Structure 1
Amino acid sequence: MSADSHPTLPPVRLCSDAELARDALGAPLFARAVRLARWAGPGTRVGVGGELATDQLPEAAVVLGLDTADEDSAGYASQAWRVAVDTGLVDVTEPEDDNGEGDEERFGTAAPGEDLALVTSGAPGDVLDLWLAALDTVLADAAVPDLDDLVDALDAGGEIDFDRLDWNPGREADFLDGVLANLYLLTVTEGGAADGPIPLPVLAASMIVPDGMGEPTDAVLEQVSDAMMRLDDQFRQLEPIGLVEFRPVDEELMAEADGPLESETAGAGGGGAGAGAADDEDVSRYGMVRLTPLGLYGIRARMLEAGVDAPAVGELAEKGADALLDAVSLYSEHAAQAEIEQWLAGREQPAAAAELLAAARGDDEGGPLRRLRCQQALAPAGPEAEPAVRSVLDDPELGGLARVWLAERGAGDVPAPDPEMVFWLTVDTIAAQLAADGETEELPLLMETLTAHHTGFFEQVWRVEHPATAYVLEAMGRLHPDKKAAKEARKAAFKARSRRPA
């Protein structure tokens, strides 16, 4: 799974290992693999690649409770057996090579593997390791063309013509990994798809439509349509292992379509921006997919293995406040709050407050946002934290934060801040908001509120010894809703730039 596209991802909230292990054991394909592993014994015959002998597939299907009259039952049994072998749930001894002598087909043997015991007696992590191995097998299978394509690509000698098939194993695996990475990102990003399934056209378009393209061309829409149909087949294969919940493309829709689904794809959100004007029912006919909690765990595990920074909420619970504030400074407010709550849960309030305040200091570029997250972390703290907060009232970087915290709780004997601290806190607050959310619609109102009560604000603020003073004033010059104040901010920004050494 490529680590290039999204080197740092938003944090994901995972279920416990015990819950995930139960989901893994309940995944239909994994459960079938376990059942066949328990069935394997002295009478089980396997071929050169460890595959189950053809004449044993009907018996395996019966063991799995499948309808042997269904022509697909043998395929389901074969797939479950392959998963059992690849995960170590079954040990196979392949047939000995007869060096071409004799016409009789030779078979190897199979028996339950040592890892089968982990299903019932192992820790949740052991079960999840087995499931991840099973997932690797299923993903590899999903990247292989379907049988019809393989048949069409046979040459006169009965060999597969790979040039005609236009199939590159590495390319197909990378494409599927990219799709799953995008699905993961859409799921964990706030305002993304966490609360609902993703339309298949949107997911396909995320892989095909170039960034910045306005109206997709017919050629691009045809590629999106082809990708949709490929994903439809792949997600059908991935659902039984518990990775996704999937609603396939409506077969009637495919029957109705005259050629590729270019026009229909466009109406269902082919540009990647959403479902457009089509209603929910129309969009759902083109396929809908959602990662399960187990799927989130599985894709994250693969990303970590590929070197992608894919954090999970709770990972920082045992780390220091400096690591906490540095990490959550990159998170959204909601994700930061979830991480902070878990960090605070295992600590005494006085010590936690003191550690957070110490970690919030610093005149580096990340300082303002660290102090904003520190303020967020201290917000739910009770009276036990007050001594630690009062201890920094005279701190030039933390004194303003401390006064705000105490004032919000109606504390007495809080000294009024001097003008220099007020201006410094104003700059720090706006710098933190810019770092956290960028130039949002709410920021101009905040600027107006912070400057309205100070006569001659811009005549004084450019002198503030804060590394972000000029940067903040430039932003105010662009965003302040009062034109006169915006002009004053631009002049102040120039003065602030001029007084700082080159």
Structure 2
Amino acid sequence: MSDSSPLPPVRLTSVAELARDALSAPLLARAARLARWAGPDTRVDAGGGLVEEQLPAAAEALGLTGDDAAAYASEAWRVAVDTGLVEIADEEAGTVAAGEELAQLTGGSPHDVLAVWQTALETVLADASVPDLDDLVDAMDEGGEVDLSRLDWDPEAEAEFLDGVLGNLYLLTANEDGPGQGPVPLPALAASMIVPGDMGEPTNDVLEQVSDAMMRLDDQFRLLEPIGLVEYQPVDEALMVDADDSGDGGTGTGDVDETDVSRYGMVRLTPLGLYGLRARLMEAGFQAPAVGELADKGADALLDGTATYGPTAARAETEQWLARREPLAAARELLSAARGSDSGAPLRRLRCQQALSLVGLPAQAALREVLDDPELGGLARVWLTEHGAADVPAPSQDLVFWLTIDTLAAQLAAEGNSEELQALVEGLAAQHDGFFAAAWRVRHPATADVLEAMGRLHPDKKVAKEARKAAFKARSLFNGG
């Protein structure tokens, strides 16, 4: 992921709903309960953790039983300390007191609650990058200390790997072509980090790396689910038993149904997780827009801001923007913002046309006002005709060609060299005999670029050559050659 270009926009639930989700996240709820449970007799060790003899009482306060109860209580206490729900009152005596942040969970604003949760998330993410207990035990020296040199562990690399996985999960969730709010198979997520994009059939070595990554992620997502970041269906343990029995290092299948991808783990970001990852990405310098944040800005910000949005997100953003304005005034503001000869202007006009379709008939008066505008007249005629308006003046041939170039430039900016654009290019060249002979003369800043794109996209070599020659002429014309 590059932090220079914006990520796909996400749709966030309300801050109040997110705060409620944060308060109900099992791990934060346990941490808060322990913070209220702690008293003058509560003792901690030098690292701020509960002393061992107090773990059973902490587990009981949380209603936890079983072999893992003490470990869960210890984890919740660590989150309570890291988030400021509990403070170390006297390090030498090992005593604690309620922290200032505890009051924020009950008396603070939704944003205050989310700030506490975000801190808790960072604690859990740091824990998720640490080797599991078995690996740490194996790395202990004779004195009982962990010998890091025995671990195949690079803390920075582990943290970067997990950040990369979560970044890809965020992209898949936000992207209109991805699963949206649906679950993502764990193998696909692991492969997104391991398999090169230009690799056809993965090698056995790459497949083994993907399998190893899946097992790491399985452990990590089990840790991340209790803080409310993800909903996770773990890898079916029968798969691991089968892999061990097969003796092939994890690729055996035995009686396992290979077609049931859900058995290999399924993960989805929760609405709270989407909020949390967006906050982390923005803190790291990424542009991570959210639908609705342009609603109180001007039309110029709306048209420019939605330029990189997919059609669904652009429509949702525009609907929120229009909901705050009187229709005719909004139409006039949109048309004014759509003017321009800069490289972004064609796409602004396309977004303007799409926005005006949402305004409907109340926009008609504004569109009639710009019929003689050299940049908006073609757009106005198209809109009025599509909406059944009477007395729409016919466009001149020059205006038809200008609008064609403007539309192609907008589509090129919005979609790149897409199949839809290629079909449009082929249709234009087939329907208009002598198109290129006239098109190169069009006084539009994007004429040469559009004609060059048509030369790239058209499958017929003869037509493509015509387009390239026309592009050369257009560039010479605009350069005064």
Give me the TM-score of the superposition, normalised by structure 2.
0.93
- Map of 2:292 onto structure 1: 314
1:83 corresponds, among 65, 79, 84, to 79
In the aligned structure 1, how far is the partner of 2:108 from the partner of 2:151?
Answer: 43
Counterpart of 1:286? 264
Residue 342 of structure 2 corresponds to which residue in structure 1?
364
Contact 1:445 1:481 in 2 (8 A): no
Q: Residue 496 of structure 1: which of 467, 474, 479 is its match?
A: 474
Q: Is 2:408–2:450's contact at 8 Å kept on the other side of the alignment?
A: yes
Superposition map of 1:20-31 within 5 A? 20-31=18-29
Deviation by residue 1:355-385 (Cα, 9 ceiling, x = unmatched) = 1111111112111111101111111113332
Instruction: Provide the TM-score with structure 1 as the length reference.
Output: 0.89
Tell me what 2:69 maps to.
Answer: 73
Give, as a single letter, the amino acid of the residue that structure 1 aligns with 2:36.
R
Aligned to 2:229: 243
Q: What are the equivalent positions in structure 2 for 1:48-197 lying under 5 Å apart?
A: 48-67=46-65, 70-96=66-92, 107-197=93-183
How much does 1:481 deviate?
Answer: 7.0
**1:203 partner amino acid:** L
Answer with 412-421 or 216-225: which moved more.
Answer: 216-225
- Aligned residues of 2:3 and 2:286 also touching (Cα < 8 A): no
Letter matched to residue 80 of structure 1: A
Q: Distance in 1 between matches of 2:151 and 2:437?
A: 72
Query: Counterpart amino acid of 1:159?
Result: E
1:484 CA displacement: 6.7
| Paired amino acid for 1:160 | V
**Cα gap change, 1:154 to 1:410, in 2 (>3 Å):** same
Partners of 2:186 and 2:265 within 8 A in 1: yes
Amino acid of the structure 2 residue aligned with 1:143 = S
Question: Is the 1:24–1:30 contact (alpha carbons within 8 Å) kept by the matching residues of 2?
Answer: yes
The letter of the residue matching 1:375 is Q
Whether the aligned pair in 1 keeps the contact of 2:181 and 2:268 (CA below 8 Å) is no
Q: CA deviation at 1:135?
A: 0.4
Contact in 2 for aligned 1:37/1:116 (Cα 8 Å) = yes
- Cα distance between partner residues in 1 of 2:403 and 2:168: 39
Task: For 1:261-276, list aligned pairs within 5 A.
Answer: 261-262=250-251
Asked if the contact 1:369–1:435 (Cα under 8 Å) also holds between the matched residues in 2, the reply is: yes
1:91 match: secondary structure: strand
| CA distance in 1: counterparts of 2:191 and 2:125, whole angstroms | 21
Query: Pairwise mapping of residues 416-427 of structure 1 onto structure 2 (< 5 A)?
Result: 416-427=394-405
CA-to-aligned-CA distance 1:142-165 (integer Å, 9 cap, x gap): 111111000101123322221210
What is the one-letter code of the residue matched to 1:472? V
Aligned to 2:371: 393
Kept in 2: contact 1:225–1:260 (CA 8 A) = no
Pick from 336, 352, 374: which aligns with 1:374? 352
Structure 2 contact 40–95 (Cα < 8 Å) conserved: yes
CA distance in 2, matches of 1:318, 1:307: 23
1:405 paired with 2:403, answer: no
How many pairs were matched up?
475
Question: How far did 1:230 drift?
Answer: 0.9
1:260 and 2:238 correspond = no
User: Share of identical aligned residues, percent?
Assistant: 69
Alpha-carbon contact 1:218-1:262 (below 8 Å) kept:
no
Per-residue deviation at 1:112?
2.0
Specify the code of the residue in structure 2 equivalent to 1:421: L
Q: Aligned to 2:419, what secondary structure does the other structure show?
A: coil
Give the CA deviation at 1:408: 1.6
Check whether the contact 2:181–2:269 (CA below 8 A) recurs between aligned residues.
no
Q: Residue 351 of structure 1 is aligned with which of 326, 329, 334? A: 329
Secondary structure of the structure 2 residue equivalent to 1:46: coil
- Structure 2 gap segments, 5+ residues each: none
Residues 51-80 of structure 1: CA deviation (Å, up to 9, x unaligned):
11211111111111111xx11000001111
User: What is the deviation of 1:412?
Assistant: 1.9
Q: What letter corresponds to residue 204 of structure 1 in structure 2?
A: A
What aligned pairs does 1:457-496 form with structure 2 within 5 A after superposition? 457-480=435-458, 488-496=466-474
Q: What is the RMSD of the two structures over their aligned residues, measured on CA atoms?
A: 2.2
Paired amino acid for 2:6: T
In the TM superposition, residue 245 of structure 1 has moved relative to its aligned partner by 0.7
Match of 1:274 in 2: none
Q: Is 1:340–1:377's contact at 8 Å kept on the other side of the alignment?
A: yes
Give the residue type in structure 1 aligned to 2:177. Answer: G
| Contact 2:44/2:95 (8 A) holds in 1 | yes
CA contact 2:172–2:178 (8 Å) conserved in 1: yes
Shift of 1:396: 0.8
- 1:47 and 1:94 in contact (8 A); partners too: no
8 Å contact from structure 2 (residues 136, 146) kept in 1: yes
CA distance in 1, matches of 2:442, 2:161: 52
The residue aligned with 1:332 is: 310
Deviation, 1:338, is 1.3
